[in-house]
Structure 1
Amino acid sequence: MEEKDQAIEEKDQVIEEKDRVLEENTRALEENAKVLEEKDRLIAELRRLR
């Protein structure tokens, strides 16, 4: 039973780490979207100025 409990604990730790990484990736993707929107805005502004 001890081995099974340990295996469950290890799996829980892996799941928690994956959740953390997913949250981090989500934040990075949201930031990338903001940067791309700003880039598009700046490109449009440049084209207007030409």
Structure 2
Amino acid sequence: MVEVLVVDQSPETGEVESWRALFKHIQGLPQSRSITDEDIIKEIDAYRNGR
């Protein structure tokens, strides 16, 4: 016996646009402009090390 489940994983209408608008807004914030790649790496490392 085989059971098959088919799931439509395509985003709902407007969902992709909403995410894009959110990311554009966040990237435009003054705080976002001063973040460097090094800052991001440090934050990821700290999170992974439980700090």
Q: Normalised by the size of structure 1, how large is the TM-score?
A: 0.37
Q: Normalised by the size of structure 2, how large is the TM-score?
A: 0.37
Structure with more contact order per residue of length (Cα contacts < 8 Å, sep ≥ 6): 2
